[in-house]
Amino acid sequence: MDVITFGESMVLFNPDAKGPLRYIHTFSKALAGAESNVAIALARLEHNVGWFSKLGDDEFGRYIECFIRGEGVDISRVIKDVTKSTGLLFKERFAHVNPNVYYYRKNSAASYLSTDDIDYEYIKSAKILHVTGITPALSESAKETVIKVVDYAKENNVIVSFDPNIRLKLWSIEEAKPVILELCRKADILFPGIDEAEMLLGISEPKEIIEAFHEMGPKMVVLKLGKEGCRVSDKEEEYFVNGYTVKTMEDSVGAGDGFAAGFLSGLLRDKSLKECGEYANGVGAMATLVKGDVEGLPTYDQLLTFIDKKEYVDR
Amino acid sequence: MDVITFGESMVLFNPDAKGPLRYIHTFSKALAGAESNVAIALARLEHNVGWFSKLGDDEFGRYIECFIRGEGVDISRVIKDVTKSTGLLFKERFAHVNPNVYYYRKNSAASYLSTDDIDYEYIKSAKILHVTGITPALSESAKETVIKVVDYAKENNVIVSFDPNIRLKLWSIEEAKPVILELCRKADILFPGIDEAEMLLGISEPKEIIEAFHEMGPKMVVLKLGKEGCRVSDKEEEYFVNGYTVKTMEDSVGAGDGFAAGFLSGLLRDKSLKECGEYANGVGAMATLVKGDVEGLPTYDQLLTFIDKKEYVDR
Amino acid sequence: MDVITFGESMVLFNPDAKGPLRYIHTFSKALAGAESNVAIALARLEHNVGWFSKLGDDEFGRYIECFIRGEGVDISRVIKDVTKSTGLLFKERFAHVNPNVYYYRKNSAASYLSTDDIDYEYIKSAKILHVTGITPALSESAKETVIKVVDYAKENNVIVSFDPNIRLKLWSIEEAKPVILELCRKADILFPGIDEAEMLLGISEPKEIIEAFHEMGPKMVVLKLGKEGCRVSDKEEEYFVNGYTVKTMEDSVGAGDGFAAGFLSGLLRDKSLKECGEYANGVGAMATLVKGDVEGLPTYDQLLTFIDKKEYVDR
Amino acid sequence: MDVITFGESMVLFNPDAKGPLRYIHTFSKALAGAESNVAIALARLEHNVGWFSKLGDDEFGRYIECFIRGEGVDISRVIKDVTKSTGLLFKERFAHVNPNVYYYRKNSAASYLSTDDIDYEYIKSAKILHVTGITPALSESAKETVIKVVDYAKENNVIVSFDPNIRLKLWSIEEAKPVILELCRKADILFPGIDEAEMLLGISEPKEIIEAFHEMGPKMVVLKLGKEGCRVSDKEEEYFVNGYTVKTMEDSVGAGDGFAAGFLSGLLRDKSLKECGEYANGVGAMATLVKGDVEGLPTYDQLLTFIDKKEYVDR
Amino acid sequence: MDVITFGESMVLFNPDAKGPLRYIHTFSKALAGAESNVAIALARLEHNVGWFSKLGDDEFGRYIECFIRGEGVDISRVIKDVTKSTGLLFKERFAHVNPNVYYYRKNSAASYLSTDDIDYEYIKSAKILHVTGITPALSESAKETVIKVVDYAKENNVIVSFDPNIRLKLWSIEEAKPVILELCRKADILFPGIDEAEMLLGISEPKEIIEAFHEMGPKMVVLKLGKEGCRVSDKEEEYFVNGYTVKTMEDSVGAGDGFAAGFLSGLLRDKSLKECGEYANGVGAMATLVKGDVEGLPTYDQLLTFIDKKEYVDR
Amino acid sequence: MDVITFGESMVLFNPDAKGPLRYIHTFSKALAGAESNVAIALARLEHNVGWFSKLGDDEFGRYIECFIRGEGVDISRVIKDVTKSTGLLFKERFAHVNPNVYYYRKNSAASYLSTDDIDYEYIKSAKILHVTGITPALSESAKETVIKVVDYAKENNVIVSFDPNIRLKLWSIEEAKPVILELCRKADILFPGIDEAEMLLGISEPKEIIEAFHEMGPKMVVLKLGKEGCRVSDKEEEYFVNGYTVKTMEDSVGAGDGFAAGFLSGLLRDKSLKECGEYANGVGAMATLVKGDVEGLPTYDQLLTFIDKKEYVDR
């Protein structure tokens, strides 16, 4: 396996029109989940990827399995729990503000993920382990699991990639901060956003942020700067990599996951640090061009064409 | 108020096609809830009805409020809880077997219903209080609430109507039995089904069932016999009332609720026991002629025409 | 009752795509009606409101009843006419011009509204009576009714609020002018638009318009200036109140109705004249942020947040 | 022209689900009109047919024009009236009773059809003129027009075909009877149903009915007997023609129109009286096999195959 | 006939959402075809137009017939081939790039169009014959047919109108160039785009292009300049005609066909060269205001209003 | 691999309503393909299965890959051809006759499948190779490929399973017969239908058919008898296995593929011949209970429950 990742994927119900949900008559089913987004992005970029989570042994869980496996991701380590439900979320979209999200994930199967559910040999088989700051927010046992798997990976020379993904709907910043910082310290590659850096470190100057994170441990810090692009550093080199101007952003959800996948893909292909940053910017930008978390994610050929021509070209 | 009832109403998501949910792309929003079905049925039959529950202070809760109030039911005692979610359910329909139901109601706002949430003066204002065996299955506090409200009603000369509605998806028969039996004993009017009678009493002969329930307390026992019709008894008189032959049953869900409402409507109009049974059979049959829990419920004129001509006539 | 209003509500059929209707295959049902928009807006702002009209005793009439009652408006004085139909309208939408409207309201039940249909005690029970210039355009009897009810309200110290709402599709300016002017003279609160003022008075300078209307009788004149905001005057004070910049206007229909409701809500809460103008601007702006006449109307909390932060926040 | 016919065609809005319309969210546009059904049926059977009516000069009128012309019917004599609307109807479908119909055709453009709107040379050019009893029910002027055109046709040796089509939603039997009987007397070919015969003549025995109608004038009487088939008579010969057993009737609307068209097609092809009856039964049966008034109407090849094999075969 | 045109029309399947087709669940049927677009545009502008092609004798072919005939175009010369299929295409739409097109037209009925399929008397009956560069790209026999019909038209004093319409998905520029140039030489009226001129002639200066084409033969050259407008020349006069600023372009497909139709309509009405250019610009601009190839095409009244007020007004 | 199969899978477009396609506005995308149906059925029954075909390198090909891989089938040997298209089919459904099918698969990528496309080592890795009589009908090269792969399998002790699946839309019985018979002779397990046996052998008595096929070579003959069930024989034993009475058949397409998969699953689990027949009947029956080729296919647990209770139970 090139990359292994795990974390909760949910069935997403999208309203068929904008406005308050009470006036919406029909909803369409889709997939949501930061870690499975990264996995699918990497699979489309031709890497061997594994993803797992704990799912309810119900039709929603089977939908998630079929979708992710269909994208070419190994799901052999997914765990099914007949006594629990698969988590759901509903979006409420408006033209003028960010969508609202209604979660039905409390006590979901995934929140019962525990250290006993892990196939450690499988973890060891990966070049890179990718985790996010969402999983430790789900439950105490999920938090323990993330930390134990990360520790296990480090002990076994698996590179640890960490995207803080601080979700204040799931826990308070007071609860989140020590856990996220602990995982930052354990990570080899870190994907903070500028807002997250401010919440965690209280500083907002990019160069300072990178330095501060390096001091905590990570060898690679990839600071996301939104449309501006990103700043990448491996302690030896440091670059600002210009972003892409996307005139017709359709859906920003999933962009950060695509970004991380783009960077990891560059690493796995032994690209230079700067090229890794360009891949990250490219996949992130392309993800925003199509509605849905994963629908706009590019193949490797499409990514190269996009970076080259700065435009999206489906072959 | 003629009738007051309370209990959980949920947002129901109906798949737009039959078959396993993993292959279904779109879902339509509707309303579900045994007690609100009864309330809507009674409102359409021109009675003053009040219904309440505890709802999340979210768009799904507002949808439930608008729908039920739109039908002419008093919802002034609904309680909103900003910290909880409104319960949901998904149906999975097949041509050859009964629909599956996926509940997302654990820890819903309604399951936190407690004795402090009740406006007892409001309860006292009713001629009839109608409760079901679903509410005590939701949580310990919901169970206490049902019992306390029923006791309060009895003390204040409000007639207590009880539909056992045993849902084995919510609790085991072992858990359910003592609670349901306690409520049977407290009830003035009882609406058992023949299956429920068997589970509760271990007997299956209609006349015996009625006698057994009468001995427990209720003055009126209305035994549902499905398509056959029903057997009604007020200790003094007892009749078998023939059901209606419905060739094109569209949706059996909500039939039992319509049945109870039809009977109560007869009582409120001072009809004879036998006529009350005919109203019950009529509303129950008509509810099955249109898809949805409440869409087929008749106005009083429509009910009389149906009973008269044994056919459904929209004016 | 805080406010009572009456006037025709119709079933609106929205095409599911833009372009000439002959190429449109499916239409979605919704509600339309200036007065019921005002009533719903006020109900959402926590006032006691009553609305009525004459409806066909058919499914379209029942839909209108359920929708408006569902929003918490008192509809107890709605009249049903079994011999007439409920009015309809179809919209035809284009990206580049205002929608076309096809009315099927000639000889609708509402156009037969007459002075005999009115519950005058009900009118007397209101603090404010709100009427529009659409109703007198429907028929001779509807015109008489509006005038008689307005006169009755004035005699009984009910404040009369009037929105001219000149609809040249329903009558010519020659027919409309004398009637609208008569109602302006009778009104206590007047909500003219700048275009309407020009048609009625032949002048276009805001201050002059306000003065001219004051001379005709109304104590309060609220001149709508579109995106610019409004100018409010109660003879003693006069202010220009700045409007809100809405970047993503979704649907301008219903904005004027929300505007009037916002102003009346301020009055009912004893807010200062200027604050009333801010409420009017706020509700009007928020109505345009969601497609549909009433879907975007705010609760009182949402309105205050919007005015405060100048942004829409759903709790 | 082989056949010319005229009469109101309307835009039909079909609910996307069964049940009371107040609960239906979306409607689909289609075409309705007895005379245009006959015209389209004949065009599909390879005859030259003309149809006309008076339409609103609006998008609904243009839709009707495009649809009927698209089917190969000459619409060159359609009249447009900018001051009137095109008529509409809504269906309300139930599983267990016939659909309800809500008309919005009062004062429609077609109801203003008058004797001045007719191109008499065009009428003269036809072999057969087909009219129905719906048109005289629309208005006084429409009634005059039907009678004048029928008289004109007779004077000019155009065969007059008449389908009584008594619609009690449009006029009472008292109003209808004298007019329908007058048209029966003027007709050369008559297509009564057995119910209509009872209403008009007070007799119900097929042979007697045929005799009675012959005595009134018509040379050909084609008595529709529903699923049983029909009885055909040209005074010289008389046959009972067996109907087709259709197991899966999808939509009975339009069957009578297809029946009439089938008979006329036989006549135009100089088939024997009995064969004409078989064509009538065949087209009528095939019309019921597909939802919609005209969607199931057969080509001539399809009709022959159906009659031959007694099954529907699309080539 | 004022204008006769021929060429492949196909059934177009439009995805119901943007994004890669693999994620799209539903598709809507529509019509596509450059020549039928021109024919429909001319019919709506009140000219007598004939269009024909070879279609499969299947439901898709019948759909094309009904649609085009419905628009008032003569389709009497359409040929049906029971052994071939009607061509299809699927669109794949993105927010940020032009749509992809997936053709299923190889070996379609239309690609078998041959010189034997032509009714030469029909061709001779036209004032103008309009052809495009798409037809010769379909097959060898289609190419021969176009050339033979054009030659026949010229010999019989039918004006030949030619729109190069170079489609590099159907043939390479090497294959296309000699054929397109041959047809340019034969044409009386030529509608090149500026890109096409560059591909064919290697020059890009408008005045030079027009001169070069005039030298090849055509008396009229109408050079399309996109949003800028066009340059028209009949050897004697030459004008630049300003285009219309369309803020809300919905769909650019079909604009070129509308443009050609607008010009031909001007010619047929004996308008000045400059006015013909204005008609061309006007119809082209209006076609882009509504989604679909033909839905936005104006009537003559609508065109004049648009040109006059520079805005689209539906009557 | 337990089973490997190959053959064309296509994108299926289902009309959203019954009736002639020309009147259908929307179509839904699905998957079709006899061999992939078998593969999916086996994967759901917990076997390791591989399927491959040649697909266009387009979005329709990617859809097929994602769907089949999502179901847990190995698609690692799928071949992509950038120069060819993925095959399509449209269904046309009627209430009273079998659906029509419109193929767009001529010259599809799959029809170019050739002996060079095969990974023979992969074939060798299977316990069972399953092929159908559809593939040799696609093209000369596809026919050669089937025969070569079958021969290769036999040489390498891979059991050959063959379902004749004679499709007279793809080739005539004259063309089909020798090829199908050759494959019958090569097969180890044969799944003929009673109709196919008649076409191939000219006999219709079950026992005779089985004997005749055994004489040609196959060790196992599984004769499909539709609703009656099947007759299974391995030369030593022979049984008639009763079918299941399915009251609500939703969709018979895919039943034969499920039947074959059920039998092979029994074999792979070392079940007795009779049990294999029961599995075949069970999976075949269950496939018909849900619309779609694969949506109704059971898991192993569901199959056992169905066989046990003779009813479908989703866990």
Q: What is the 3-state secondary structure (H, E, C) of chain D?
A: CCEEEECCCEEEEEECCCCCHHHCCEEEEEEECHHHHHHHHHHHCCCCEEEECEEECCHHHHHHHHHHHHCCCECCCCEEECCCCCCEEEEECCCCCCCEEEEECCCCHHHHCCHHHCCHHHHHCCCEEEEECCHHHHCHHHHHHHHHHHHHHHHCCCEEEEECCCCCCCCCHHHHHHHHHHHHHHCCEECCEHHHHHHHHCCCCHHHHHHHHHHHCCCEEEEECHHHEEEEECCCCEEEEECCCCCCCCCCCCHHHHHHHHHHHHHHCCCCHHHHHHHHHHHHHHHCCCCCCCCCCCCHHHHHHHHHHCCCCCC
Contact B188/B161 with Cβ under 8 angstroms? yes
Which of E66, E74, E80 to probe the D interface (max D CBs under 10 A)? E66
Chain B residues at the C interface, defined by Cβ less than 8 Å, are 57, 65-67, 69-72, 82, 315
Rg of chain B over Cα atoms, rounded to whole angstroms, equals: 18
- Taking residue F259's Cβ as centre, other Cβ atoms within 10 Å add up to 28
- Report CA torsion sign: C9, C15, C20, C23: negative
Inform me whether the pLDDT recorded for D246 exceeds 50: yes
Under an 8 A CB cutoff, do C248 and A20 touch? no
Phi-psi region of F51 (alpha: psi -120 to 50; beta: other; left: phi over 0): beta
Contact F109/F84 with Cβ under 8 angstroms? yes
- How confident is the model at residue D314, as a pLDDT? 39
CB pairs under 8 A between B and D: 34
Phi/psi at F241 (5° precision): -115, 120
Write the pLDDT tens digit of every residue in C87-146: 999 999 988 777 889 999 999 999 999 999 999 999 999 999 999 999 999 999 999 999
Region D118-143 average pLDDT: 97
With CA atoms as reference, the chain E residue closest to A29 would be: E25
- How confident is the model at residue E309, as a pLDDT? 78
Contact B142/A126 with Cβ under 8 angstroms? no
Select the residue of C19, C92, C100 nearest E291 (Cβ to Cβ): C19
**Chain C: closest CA distance from residue D26 (Å):** 4
Under an 8 A CB cutoff, do D248 and F96 touch? yes
Structure tokens at B145: 């609430």
DSSP summary character for residue B226: G
Phi/psi at D31 (5° precision): -115, 145
- Report CA torsion sign: F202, F207, F208, F213: positive
Structure tokens at C105: 């309201």
Which of B10, B28, B59, B102 to probe the A interface (max A CBs under 10 A)? B59
Structure tokens at C222: 């609220």
- How confident is the model at residue A226, as a pLDDT? 86
- How confident is the model at residue B99, as a pLDDT? 86
Q: What pLDDT tens digit does each residue of chain A (315 aa) get?
A: 999 999 999 999 999 999 999 999 999 999 999 999 999 999 999 999 999 999 999 999 999 999 999 999 999 999 999 999 999 999 999 887 778 899 999 999 999 999 999 999 999 999 999 999 999 999 999 999 999 999 999 999 999 999 999 999 999 999 999 999 999 999 999 999 999 999 999 999 999 999 999 999 999 999 999 889 999 999 999 999 999 877 777 778 889 999 999 999 999 999 999 999 999 999 999 999 888 889 999 999 999 999 987 654 433
- How confident is the model at residue B313, as a pLDDT? 40
Under an 8 A CB cutoff, do B59 and A29 touch? no
Structure tokens at E108: 């379609």
Inform me whether the pLDDT recorded for E5 exceeds 50: yes
Nearest-10 Cα torsion for B243, B248, B250, B254: -10
Chain A residues with CB under 8 Å of E23 CB are: 292, 295
End-to-end alpha carbon distance in chain A: 28
Q: Which is nearest to C255 in space by CA: C279, C225, C232, C288?
A: C288
CA angle, residues F50, F56, F62, in degrees to nearest 5: 60
Phi-psi region of E72 (alpha: psi -120 to 50; beta: other; left: phi over 0): left
Q: What is the ipTM of this complex?
A: 0.92
E257 is catalytic: yes
Which of C67, C93, C289, C310 to probe the A interface (max A CBs under 10 A)? C289
The pLDDT mean for chain B works out to 94
Which of E163, E257, E308, E314 does the annotation list as catalytic?
Answer: E257
**Chain E: closest CA distance from residue F59 (Å):** 5
Chain A residues with CB under 8 Å of B20 CB are: 59, 62
Region E64-79 average pLDDT: 98
The packing angle between helices F255-268 and F273-287, to 10°, is 150
Assign C315 a pLDDT band (cuts: 50, 70, 90).
very low
Write the pLDDT tens digit of every residue in C207-229: 999 999 999 999 999 999 988 99
- How confident is the model at residue D310, as a pLDDT? 65
**Chain F: closest CA distance from residue E148 (Å):** 30
SS3 of A239, please? strand
CA distance linking residue D300 with residue A176, whole number of Å: 76
Select the residue of B66, B82, B315 nearest C70 (Cβ to Cβ): B66
Region C40-58 average pLDDT: 97
Contact A21/A15 with Cβ under 8 angstroms? yes
Against chain E, the chains showing at least 3 CB pairs within 8 Å are A, C, D, F
Inform me whether the pLDDT recorded for F313 exceeds 70: no
Assign C253 a pLDDT band (cuts: 50, 70, 90).
confident
CA distance linking residue F210 with residue F233, whole number of Å: 7
Inform me whether the pLDDT recorded for E278 exceeds 50: yes
Select the residue of A250, A292, A313 nearest E23 (Cβ to Cβ): A292
Write the pLDDT tens digit of every residue in A150-206: 999 999 999 999 999 999 999 999 999 999 999 999 999 999 999 999 999 999 999
Assign E247 a pLDDT band (cuts: 50, 70, 90).
confident
pLDDT lower than 50: segments of chain B: 312-315
The DSSP-derived string for F21-56 is GGG--EEEEEEE-HHHHHHHHHHHTT--EEEE-EEE
Contact A69/A36 with Cβ under 8 angstroms? no
Region C3-24 average pLDDT: 96
**Chain C: closest CA distance from residue E98 (Å):** 19
Region C178-192 average pLDDT: 97
- How confident is the model at residue C310, as a pLDDT? 65
**Chain D: closest CA distance from residue F277 (Å):** 33
Phi/psi at F192 (5° precision): -75, 150
Against chain F, the chains showing at least 3 CB pairs within 8 Å are A, B, D, E
Write the pLDDT tens digit of every residue in F198-232: 999 999 999 999 999 999 999 999 999 988 999 99
Under an 8 A CB cutoff, do D248 and F23 touch? no
Chain D residues at the F interface, defined by Cβ less than 8 Å, are 246-248, 250, 289-292, 295-296, 311-314
Inform me whether the pLDDT recorded for F33 exceeds 90: yes
With CA atoms as reference, the chain F residue closest to E86 would be: F104
Residue numbers of B annotated as active site = 257
Which of B71, B83, B294, B295 to probe the C interface (max C CBs under 10 A)? B71
Inform me whether the pLDDT recorded for C311 exceeds 70: no
Q: Which is nearest to B108 in space by CA: B9, B175, B253?
A: B9
Write the pLDDT tens digit of every residue in E31-49: 999 999 999 999 999 999 9
**Chain A: closest CA distance from residue C290 (Å):** 6
Select the residue of F26, F62, F88 nearest E104 (Cβ to Cβ): F88
Q: Which is nearest to B31 in space by CA: B15, B19, B14?
A: B14
Q: Which is nearest to A280 in space by CA: A47, A41, A51?
A: A41
